[in-house]
Amino acid sequence: MRSLVRNFPIVMFLEIDKSWTLFLDRDGVINEKRENDYVKKWDEFVFIDGSLEAISILSNLFHHIIIVTNQRGVGKELMTEADLNFIHKQMIGVINKNMGRIDEIYFCTDIDDFAINRKPNIGMALKAKLDFPEIDFRKSTMIGDSESDMIFAQRLEMKGVLIGSFNENDLVKSAADFTFDSLLSIARHLENFKIKI
């Protein structure tokens, strides 16, 4: 497990203030991924240890927190959009009870990799910009666990933060600006720098 900053100095994080926007992937960042499956109902949704604490910390550091998530399970008819909305309603309820905040959730149910809203394409970010015109993508951070999340960030000139356990070859291939082992480690890193808000 690695918890480090790659290619860019730590001081870059000190530029983040309350005007910044945080974009979050969902599966593998907030909740546990289901291998070769999808979270199709609420009792399959399991928060990753520390993710609720992390979102609580991050809620005090960022102006907006927005989830952007590919949800191909709906497109494959393994679940309905109503199922997905219920999962998100329950998730936000738990996050709120733990002193966290999510301002909006955007999801893409398309099965076509070339669909504009499917990451790494930037359609969901453009929707967020329409709803929150004050968002500046160059003052935004994308936290995800996949290469597509990092390409999404790169295309929008955001800072990309990749989380998970990686070997050196993974890091060389990655488009990430920063790597950490979990959402909580990122949140504590930012909090410990006592960022000016």
Catalytically annotated residues: 25, 27
User: Nearest to residue 180, comparing CAs of 40, 54, 39, 31?
Assistant: 54
Tokens matching residue 147: 């290469």
Rounded Cα–Cα distance for residues 40 and 34 (Å) = 10
Handedness of CA 115, 183, 74, 90 (dihedral sign): negative
Do 84 and 91 touch, CB atoms closer than 8 A? Answer: no
φ and ψ at 143, to 5 degrees? -110, 120
**Alpha carbon distances (Å) from 164 to 30, 45, 51, 177:** 12, 19, 13, 14
Rounded Cα–Cα distance for residues 119 and 123 (Å) = 8
Tokens matching residue 151: 């390409």
